[in-house]
């Protein structure tokens, strides 16, 4: 079943996610308005500035429909700023910063430092097998605590950097930046399986 996957397109690395998803065979579409959200099977929350996205989600009436879709079990893939939005708790954020809590993780914003400290590293991501995944961390958030239902797929320096919980995939880094689409493929496989179960 061809999945229709939205990318939250308020700001950030939207184009790269759309292109990675299309490359993997998904029907990928930007989501900026509540009507866009209603039309997708799953949602990618991209990298960008979480405070900017947070404000636009509120102002343009996306908060309630997004909470509703998440409560219905809409699958998500979230990267960097997107992970911050989906987390349970944000440390070092703005007090008015929005969190949806779909992923039971505590994250610390900009925990690896400022841009000077942004880095790349090869990760071993459990479901992807032996070949390492080149991960790009840009003023990245760090996952500092995970709930009991959260599975850690990859770690770096003792902290999780890729986690999975139900149909939510959360990443502290940017898989859309390297041309390696294995994590997008993994996400799409899960979305398609869920769609088939629902259709049956």
Partner 1 sequence: MSTDKSAVNGHEPATGGVRVKRGLAEMLKGGVIMDVVNAEHAKIAEDAGAVAVMALERVPADIRREGGVARMSEVGLIKEIMAAVTIPVMAKARIGHFVEAQVLEALGIDYIDESEVLTPADEENHIDKWTFKVPFVCGCRDLGEALRRIGEGAAMIRTKGEAGTGNVVEAVRHMRAVLGGLRRLRALRPDELMSEAKRLGAPFELVREIHETGALPVVNFSAGGIATPADAALMMQLGADGNFVGSGIFKSDDPLGYAKAIVAATTYYDKPDVIAEVSAGLGPAMRGLDVASMPKEELLAARGW
111 binding partner 1? (CB under 8 A): no
Residues within window 29-48 making contact with partner 1, judged by CB under 8 A: 32, 47-48
- Closer of 89 and 178 to partner 1 (Cβ): 178
176 is an active site residue: yes
| Part in contact with partner 1 (CB under 8 A); list of ranges 35-43, 98-106, 150-158, 188-196 | 150-158
Can you give the three-state secondary structure of the chain, one letter per residue? CCCEEEEECCCCCHHHHHHHHHHCCCEEEEECCHHHHHCCCEEEECCCCHHHHHHHHHHCCCHHHHHHHHHCCCCEEEECHHHHHHEEEEECCCCCCCCCCCEEEEEECCCCCCHHHCEEEEECCHHHCCCCEEEEECCCCEEEEECCCCEEEEEECCEEEEEEECCEEEECCCHHHCCCCHHHHHHHHHHHHHHHHHHC
Q: Cβ distance 7 to 46 under 8 Å?
A: yes
121 binds partner 1 (CB under 8 A): yes
What DSSP state is assigned to residue 11? S
Q: Are 135 and 160 in contact (CB under 8 A)?
A: no
Q: Closest CB to partner 1 among 1 and 33? A: 33
Binding of residue 151 to partner 1 (CB under 8 A):
no
Task: Tell me the closest approach of the beta carbon of residue 134 to partner 1, in angstroms.
Answer: 9
Stretch that binds partner 1, among 36-44, 68-76, 136-144, 192-200 (CB under 8 A): 136-144
Residue 68 known to be catalytic: no
Annotated active-site residue 144? The verdict is no
Site for partner 1 in 175-194 (CB under 8 A): 177-178
DSSP-derived secondary structure letter, 9: -
Give min distance, CB of 153 to partner 1, in A. 8
Of the ranges 17-25, 67-75, 155-163, 181-189, which one interacts with partner 1 (CB under 8 A)? 155-163
Residues engaged in binding partner 1 (CB under 8 A):
9-16, 32, 47-49, 51-52, 55-56, 59-60, 80-81, 92-94, 109-110, 113-124, 126, 132, 136-139, 152, 154-159, 174, 177-178
Q: List, by residue number, the catalytic residues.
A: 80, 174, 176
């Amino acid at each position: 079943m061809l999945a229709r996957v939205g990318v939250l397109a308020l700001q950030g690395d939207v184009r790269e996610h759309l292109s990675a998803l299309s490359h993997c065979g998904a029907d990928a579409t930007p989501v900026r308005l509540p009507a866009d959200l209603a039309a997708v099977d799953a949602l990618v929350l991209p990298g960008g500035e979480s405070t900017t996205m947070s404000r636009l989600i509120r102002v343009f009436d996306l908060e309630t429909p997004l909470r509703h879709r998440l409560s219905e079990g809409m699958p998500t893939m979230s990267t960097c700023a997107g992970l911050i939005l989906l987390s349970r708790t944000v440390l070092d954020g703005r007090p008015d910063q929005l969190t949806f809590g779909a992923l039971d993780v505590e994250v610390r914003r900009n925990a690896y430092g400022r841009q000077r400290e942004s880095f790349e590293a090869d990760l071993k991501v459990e479901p992807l097998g032996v070949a390492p995944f080149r991960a790009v961390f840009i003023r990245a958030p760090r996952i500092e605590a995970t709930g009991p239902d959260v599975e850690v797929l990859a770690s770096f320096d003792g902290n999780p950097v890729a986690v999975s919980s139900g149909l939510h995939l959360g990443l502290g880094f940017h898989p859309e930046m390297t041309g390696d689409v294995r994590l997008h493929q993994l996400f799409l496989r899960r979305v398609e399986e869920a769609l088939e179960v629902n259709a049956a």
